[in-house]
Chain A
Amino acid sequence: MPNPIARTEDIELRLLLEAIYLKYHYDFRGYAMASVKRRLNQARERFDCRSFSQLQDKVLNEPGMMDELLTYLTVQVSELFRDPAYFRAIREKVVPHLKTYPSIKVWIAGCSTGEELYSFAILFREEGLEERTMFYATDINPEALRKAEAGVYDLERMRLFTENHRLSGGKSSLSDYYSAGYGAATFDKSLRKRTVFSDHSLVTDAVFAETQMVSCRNVLIYFNKDLQGRAIGLFRDSLTRGGFLGLGSKETLRFSPHADDFSDFSRDERLYQKRGAH
């Protein structure tokens, strides 16, 4: 078996990621490489490059190339109320705790195009928490953040979103929150009046607020273990004692150096609670 580091292709991949970091400060060096390599190979083919080195030349010297590459490097696939059981557990188990706080801050880390944010905003409105809550929706991809802020989705996705919302224990009709037209569903802008959208990197940036809940789902799977450790460290430092961390349905704190800082709160739904002190 070839030594993975010694292969030319892998050397070129590392140099490409280094170049992207040095020039644009997007740091993909600690990402899970199998997926990064696959996606950069797609980009390489799309831009007619023979090698990652050629792609590196392009991204260093051609304006606009980095934005193009970002769409390959950042994954933008989500749903409203994805994994309804997660939102049901938040509704039934987390909300009663959050209700004891006079003001609540929720961080949607890696919000991508906003589906998770709108899910939270709707749930918090239904549960009567919206008026005392501030949401932070962060991502590294400015184009995704623009889409999140716009809150416009394909109308054909609404059937799935509506079903997810119902399964999450939704107390209203999802259609109350968007207007439909020209094949698009535009979510009511009042849903984001208490949201700050911001460019933030879990890789290179620091904690920016004390929060009572962090939801970061299907983001950590793209990181290697070291980077996962860094991100989870940020969440721990941001969360207030007893604050809640929600991960994706197949993500786990089990392999994290910070696992001891959290306790299982709702195991199947991957909801964790920060322990008293650290």
Chain B
Amino acid sequence: MPAPARKPYQAVVIGTSAGGLKALSAILPHLPADYPLPIMVVIHVPPHRQSLIAPLFEEKSQIRVIEAEDKTPIEGACVYFAPPDYHLLVEGNYELSLSSEEPVLFSRPSIDVLFETAADAYGDGLIGVILTGANNDGAAGLKAVMAAGGAGFIQTPQSAFARAMPEAAIEACPSALILDLDDILLELKKAA
């Protein structure tokens, strides 16, 4: 008898910082328009109020890309960017909420806050992805994702523009898959 199929994944969270635009460019524009999973992204950017990142990716991606607004219901085939200067959180009823609480590890939005709340909402239905970055935000978050039974992908530090973030995540999550960007894209496609 074949092994029972793993329960399908329900959502993806991605965290990145320095070098993140380029790394995300190797992933988001290559997903099909009907990629079924919702993807929530935190990228650290200077807190100017108007963010150009979501429109930038919307322009070059087939999949829908928007900046998250408060209480947006989470839907598949959509990428949600955390707005600059707000934390992005996932509610138990699969809505997004925002918060202007204190920065965590000097970051707002914080990768840890997104990952921890998403892990709480999705449990083992979540994939957490840590890409290039120059600080250790995301390590605790990915650990929470994996503790809840979710999957963890980390960009290989050698291929990262800044390796501190992937390295911190690897240290916190030794069982996560360490992959180049191409393979992360492949795994995300396979997981859907």
Contacts and interface: CB of A to CB of B under 8 A. Distances in A.
A1 B71 contact: no
Contacts of A75: 99-101
A208 interface: no
A32 B91 contact: yes
Interface stretch (B36-44, B122-130, B183-191): B122-130
A264 B71 CA distance: 19
Interface residues of B, number: 31
B86 interface: yes
A252 B69 contact: yes
Contacts of A249: 49, 83
Interface residues of A, number: 29
B11 to A, nearest CB: 10
B98 A4 contact: no
Contacts of B89: 32, 34-35, 38
Q: Which of B70, B83, B117 has the most CB atoms of chain A within a 10 A radius of its CB?
A: B70
B69 A38 contact: no
B70 A250 contact: yes
Nearest to B118: A34
Contact of B70 (A4, A37, A85, A220): A220
Contact of B123 (A1, A250, A254): A1
Interface in A1-53: 1-2, 4, 10, 32-35, 37-39
B146 to A, nearest CB: 15
Interface in A124-143: none
B117 A38 contact: yes
Contact of B71 (A39, A225, A248): A225
A134 to B, nearest CB: 27
A207 interface: no
A213 to B, nearest CB: 21
B59 interface: no
Interface in B81-124: 83, 86-87, 89-93, 95, 97-102, 113, 116-117, 120-124
Contacts of A35: 87, 89, 97, 99, 101, 117
B113 A38 contact: yes
A250 B10 contact: no
Interface in A242-269: 248-252, 254-255
B86 A250 contact: yes
A222 interface: yes
B100 A218 contact: yes
A221 B99 contact: yes
Interface string A56-95: 0000000000000000000101000001010000000000
Given A1-B10, A250-B83, A252-B70, A34 B117 contact: yes
Contacts of A83: 49
Contacts of A220: 70
A228 interface: yes
Nearest to A249: B49
A139 B49 CA distance: 26
Interface string B31-54: 000000000000000000100000
A250 B69 contact: yes
A2 B69 CA distance: 26
Contacts of A252: 69-71
A34 B121 contact: yes
Nearest to B114: A34
Nearest to A1: B123
Given A2-B123, A220-B70, A34 B83 contact: no
Contact of B97 (A1, A77, A221): A221
Nearest to B102: A77
A221 B117 CA distance: 15
Given A250-B69, A252-B70, A1 B125 contact: yes
5 tightest Cβ-Cβ pairs between the two chains A and B: A4-B92, A34-B89, A34-B117, A1-B123, A32-B97
Interface of A: 1-2, 4, 10, 32-35, 37-39, 75, 77, 83, 85, 218, 220-222, 224-225, 228, 248-252, 254-255
